[in-house]
Structure 1
Amino acid sequence: MGERFSTPEEVREHWCGGGDAYRVSENRDQAEQRRDVARSRAGRCHEAELVGEALVVARFETASVPGPDRYRWGIFHAGTSLLVTAMRAGQGAEQARAGAQAIDAWRDPETGQPFDWTSDGLSDRLRSPYGRGMLDQARGRESGQRWEAAPPAKTEKYETDDGQAYTYGKADGSTRRELHVFAPGGLLIARAVDHFDVNTKKNAWIGESRDGRRLAGQRERHFVENSVAVDDGVIPQGLAGSDIVEWFVTPPEPSTTVTDVQKELCDRT
């Protein structure tokens, strides 16, 4: 795998050391969290294989309790440990390997250049239209009309600790209560409908991310926080949908901050 890593063991040792920084800049807390996540993934990823110059395919543990969704296959960035994309339940090594090979072989239709896998600023590039378009094309699918929505006339802002400004609001012209979440730049990344939860006997926002992951939240703000956390890589992309629903349909205690919730979920990876 290029000149940097020649075996999966070398990648694992690198992650045990905290991995590369993937933001353009980070504060002390973000750096500590990033290193903790990389070390956790080093211990929870198994059967790793190198693909191309920058990718690693591995089977990773998404929950600490037995169950059908305890393990998923995913495609990771070797330098940072960032999860590029996760396979769906039931998909295995063959599908993960094929997906990684397609991503590695992708070339920009306009420039003919491969995706920029440099560690510095990688999280922003993966979240950008450039990165999302690369993943859509590598998967052989288009985003589709249902994801081609502009921000509604009335939106609210959600800003992350690193200054990323997301927006959200009720979909214009919808015949039902539908919530849309947009990334910086206006790309629709998550959508949900107001749904009555038979378990909690309360209404909740139940929906999905742009790449098909299940998301939920009892209140609008919870769904937005969940969407942004997944988009930012704070919640691992392979986390079982049932775990997300269980955690976020029930609102955090008043003394528990969003950062506390996200950090605990990181500890569960």
Structure 2
Amino acid sequence: MTRNSVREAEWPHRRRTAAANPTPPPAVKQALCCQCGQLRTYKQAKAERGPFDPLDRWRRRWVGSLKCSHCAVVTRHALLIPHSCSYRDSDEREQALALGDAPRTQMEQLTDLERLRPEYRAAFPQNPNLRHLWRVSDEAAARQAGQRQVATLCGGTHQLLGDHTLARAERLKPEYLAPAPVRADEYEDLDTGMSWRDGDCVDCLRVYNAQVLSKRRRDLRARLVRAFVLATKDAQSIERLYAALGEAVPDC
């Protein structure tokens, strides 16, 4: 029996296998035109590129070439990741980690933040006129070590000037911080060749407020545990606790 005859003998089996286990058709996905914003559906795009760009990992995008019905030409489209994908927000989470967020999962805890955060800031021009937040203990440790830089809450660094600077207190305050009004005046920066406005760093405020929210949640859990203990007390304590919970949670 020749090699060709062996292959021909396998053809019926392959056809039966294909009939029993048919290949699912390509899923219908969505794409957004980068020129006009027109939304369309597609199954496969030309020149499709995934999120991994070895040349510039912070400018990587899910993009492909598709014909836009509004532009009437083939344009670059942003390929939208389906909601069912587990990695749908992976790029957004990596950017949040670079901007000061704390790791949430075990996979994020393996991220090299000391490499990630400087690499992210090196890819974009940074506003030198932002007012950042940092921990007083970090500033004291940096000055004691003879260093002139301190890590900010947004994951960057701040140049320390003089003997002391104004920073937020080490202990979190019970209220959230809001950014100060931004002035319309712009100031040219010789290093970047661009003009920037003064203002608070919104990423520092976001991280600070997230820490305040986390602390409030811990305090709330402690109070709820205390409420369970008080639930075994006398009728007067029960009524007072019931009224307080009824005001906070109307369905209680």
> Given the two structures, how large is their TM-score scaled by the length of structure 2?
0.23
Structure (1/2) with the larger strand percentage: 1
Ranked by relative contact order (alpha carbons within 8 Å, sequence separation 6 or more), the top structure is 1
Which protein has the larger Cα radius of gyration, Structure 1 or Structure 2? 2
Greater helix proportion: 2
